[in-house]
Amino acid sequence: MVDLINMPQNKNCIGTLIYALQELSLKAERMSQEDRFICFGMVEKEKKMERLQQQMEFIAEVDKLKQIQRQSYLTDGIRKENDAEHSWHLAMMAVFLSEYAKEQVDVLHVISMVLIHDLVEIDAGDTYAYDTEGNKSKREREEKAAERIFHLLPEDQAEKLWELWEEFEENETPEANFANALDRIQPILLNHKSDGKAWEEHQVQLSQILGRNANIEKGAPKLWEYAMESLIKPNIGKAIIDK
Amino acid sequence: MVDLINMPQNKNCIGTLIYALQELSLKAERMSQEDRFICFGMVEKEKKMERLQQQMEFIAEVDKLKQIQRQSYLTDGIRKENDAEHSWHLAMMAVFLSEYAKEQVDVLHVISMVLIHDLVEIDAGDTYAYDTEGNKSKREREEKAAERIFHLLPEDQAEKLWELWEEFEENETPEANFANALDRIQPILLNHKSDGKAWEEHQVQLSQILGRNANIEKGAPKLWEYAMESLIKPNIGKAIIDK
């Protein structure tokens, strides 16, 4: 430490500060190589702990995704699913159905995208696919949410996360096409398995489903064919209104 | 079709069958190259649809993971989390914390493992980490579950899934070490954030936590250091019994 007890007397406040700084810089010059390593090592370690602290705060914060309710019912129709469950289900589909992607895809990239694609809903809430009004303000609400949530992470990861989310939203790359296809087919599967409960609740029309789900064909034509034949057609005129 | 109207008279039942088979084999021989392609193409297509059908049944079946309740509370302490939410949370940790794996890991492999590691609990149920009795019969119950659930998939994928689950359970590869570390640290994070609610409920002792969680150090020593300092120590003598 700087020796403030034996410092020259009669110094004023600024003088004390200057003296202390001079002493410190002299000490730094005299510091052995080993001492320097220890000193820098500690700074490095603190930085790393700060990075990890930020990452863990983000991991704890995204726990809230488990409380964002969606409109689809679980296959048994007892309750609606939440965003975290939905995201897990999409990731499972990415693992086991990647052979049906229209173009060859980087599966890790697809999974990363589906895992994070709904994080903004922690603040912005879930907007039902066929809610015309809600979908108008969706983008603005979601960008604000991304700004807050993504930036809990260290800057480099926040940037990558933002890029990943944007890629999913823009739906232009093969990976985003496939991820979006999965995001559309999963609720259709749940709806079919739960006897079209959510379709009935929202009085969904066939034209709405066809309009919205052209995206499945864009990313996974074989899955679209399957969805049409096995999941949608059996419900037309029943849970799905035929117009 | 085989011409059964003009078939020789006075044949018995077996004779009719033999005649029909002979006629069919002659027709197959006379089949043009093009006809054969159409014929095989249809078989191929049917096989593919059957494969997809199996995969989709598996995807629908694993929806049940959303109903397997665990012992950890969500960060806000209002309700306990389920296996699907937990698996999603681990996958998120794999994406954002892979830099802390003890050895370099294939992140896609780690994520695939954490996504599927609890599937067997659909039949076998969740066994609480500190339930000594339940843990005795765990392996047997889980193997039976794997046999049923994994084999909903086409054979090649069922085998890969079994290998992946075994790898997680055996905890010998760098990927399994890291996946297991995440599986241990996540409930500690949730417990800390929910004021140790689940620890208190189960009267968990520090020695139990330390014994069980040595696995975190094996796969991610930096995360263990963090967990000890920031998540466990602040709760000793409070939610965690100090013995």
Q: Tell me if A120 sits within 8 A of A145, measured CB to CB.
A: yes
Closest chain B residue by Cα to residue A189: B60
Q: Domain residues of chain A, as ranges?
A: 13-60, 68-235
Give the pLDDT confidence of A183-234 residue by residue, as tens digits: 999 999 999 999 999 999 999 999 999 988 888 999 999 999 999 999 999 9
Which tokens go with A140?
A: 């603005």
Q: How far is A151 from A162, CA to CA, in rounded Å?
A: 9
Q: Mutate which of A58, A96, A195 to test chain B, going by most B C-beta atoms within 10 A?
A: A96
Between chains, do A60 and B93 touch, taking CB under 8 Å as contact?
no
**Cβ partners under 8 Å of residue B174, min gap 6:** B101, B102, B103, B104, B105, B219
Q: Calculate the CA B153 to chain-centre distance.
A: 11
The residue-averaged pLDDT of A107-134 equals: 92
ipTM of the complex: 0.84
Q: At what angle do helices A107-116 and B107-116 cross, to 10 degrees?
A: 50
User: How many C-beta atoms lie closer than 10 Å to residue A132's C-beta?
Assistant: 7
Give the model's pLDDT for residue B209.
92
Closest chain B residue by Cα to residue A50: B226
B112 neighbourhood in chain A, CB within 8 Å: 95
Provide, rounded to the nearest whole percent, the portion of chain B with pLDDT above 90: 72
Of residues B157 and A137, the one with the higher pLDDT is B157
Phi, then psi, of B220 in degrees rounded to 5: -155, 80
A64 neighbourhood in chain B, CB within 8 Å: 75-76
Give the model's pLDDT for residue B163.
98
Give the model's pLDDT for residue A13.
59
Residue B184 in contact with partner chain A when CB distance is under 8 A: no
Which tokens go with A113?
A: 């995208």
Which tokens go with A115?
A: 């895992």
The rounded mean pLDDT for chain B is: 90
Give the model's pLDDT for residue A7.
54
Nearest to A39 by CA among A25, A28, A49: A28
Give the pLDDT confidence of B97-130 residue by residue, as tens digits: 999 999 999 999 999 999 999 999 999 998 887 7
CA distances from A198 to A138, A173, A205 (A): 21, 30, 12
- The CATH label, of 3.40.50.150, 3.40.190.170, 3.40.50.2000, 1.10.3210.10, for the domain at A68-235 is 1.10.3210.10
What letters, b where the CB count within 10 A reaches 16 and e where it falls short, cover A171-208?
bebbbbbbbbbbbbbbbbbbbbbbebbbbbeeebebeb
The residue-averaged pLDDT of B142-162 equals: 98
Of B67, B85, B108, the CB nearest to A84: B85
User: What confidence tier does B3 reach under pLDDT thresholds 50, 70, 90?
Assistant: low
- In sign, the C-alpha dihedral spanning B180, B182, B185, B191 is negative
B193 neighbourhood in chain A, CB within 8 Å: 60, 63
For chain A, the DSSP string reads: ----TTS-SS--HHHHHHHHHHHHHHHHHH--HHHHHHHHHHHHHHHHHHHHHHHHHHHHHGGGGGG-EEEEEPTTSSSEEEHHHHHHHHHHHHHHHGGG-SS---HHHHHHHHHHTTTTHHHH----TT-HHHHHHHHHHHHHHHHHHHTTS-HHHHHHHHHHHHHHHHT-SHHHHHHHHHHHHHHHHHHHHTTTHHHHHTT-BHHHHHHHTHHHHHH-HHHHHHIIIIIIGGGBTTTBB--
Which tokens go with B217?
A: 């150090």
β-strand pairing of B69-73 with B80-82: antiparallel
Nearest to B217 by CA among B191, A205, B209, A156: B209
Nearest to A219 by CA among A68, A94, A103: A103
Provide, rounded to the nearest whole percent, the portion of chain B with pLDDT above 70: 86
User: What confidence tier does B179 reach under pLDDT thresholds 50, 70, 90?
Assistant: very high
User: Is this prediction's pTM over 0.95?
Assistant: no
